[in-house]
């Protein structure tokens, strides 16, 4: 089975990337793992033109198709997202918006292969779990419209720098054992 671990932060070497690395290490013996960073792709914002509502395709030509192709190849998708002002980073939100052609709320719509499972990990610098819950809700809402089964989530508070991830490593490993 193929696993896609997506670092939803534009920071390639911070705490979010460190968590993605731990998850990758935990799962690589069991699955074929691919790691990606939202910043690996260059794509524009959704234009709101709604052309995709009748064509199931976006009018823009950029790296978005490459990104959604990685989702198609994966059987299991794990989104690791930090908090940017109590929600997902703008780059990740722009990706979600560009998934409108795959959104199951209109016809016709494109679709990913059936049977995909999704997990989410949220992290934030402060101690309040409500912010992690909000990020997880955003990811799970996205999964729902993409028809990806939500299978589990983990919220990690008080994680600002990647050095703080080491203290949470056992918790992350226990989460990975359920995947």
β 32-37/76-82 pair status: unpaired
What are the domain boundaries of the chain? Answer: 2-176
E strand segments, 38-157: 76-82, 117-123, 149-156
The model's pTM: 0.96
- 42-64, pLDDT tens digit by residue? 999 999 999 999 999 999 999 99
- 103-116, pLDDT tens digit by residue? 898 889 899 999 99
User: Under CATH, what is the fold of the domain 2-176?
Assistant: Rossmann fold (3.40.50)
Distance of CA 179 to the CA centre of its chain: 15
Helices 169-176 & 15-27 angle (0-180, nearest 10): 40
**Mean per-residue pLDDT pooled into runs of 10, the chain (179 residues):** 98 97 98 97 95 92 94 98 95 96 89 96 96 97 97 97 95 97
């Amino acid at each position: 089975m193929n696993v896609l671990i997506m670092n939803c932060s534009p920071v390639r070497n911070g705490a979010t990337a460190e968590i993605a690395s731990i998850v990758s290490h935990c799962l690589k013996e069991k699955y074929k793992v691919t790691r990606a960073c939202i910043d690996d792709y260059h794509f524009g914002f959704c234009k709101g033109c709604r052309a995709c509502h009748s064509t199931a395709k976006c009018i823009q030509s950029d790296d978005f198709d490459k990104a959604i192709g990685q989702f198609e190849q994966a059987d299991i998708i794990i989104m690791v997202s930090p908090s940017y002002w109590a929600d997902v980073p703008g780059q990740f939100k722009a990706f979600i918006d560009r998934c409108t052609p795959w959104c199951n709320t209109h016809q016709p719509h494109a679709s990913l292969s059936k049977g995909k499972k999704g997990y989410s990990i949220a992290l934030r610098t402060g101690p309040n779990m409500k912010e992690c819950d909000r990020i997880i809700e955003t990811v799970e809402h996205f999964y729902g419209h993409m028809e990806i089964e939500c299978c589990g989530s983990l919220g990690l508070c008080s994680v600002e720098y990647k050095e703080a991830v080491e203290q949470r490593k056992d918790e992350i490993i226990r989460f990975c054992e359920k995947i």
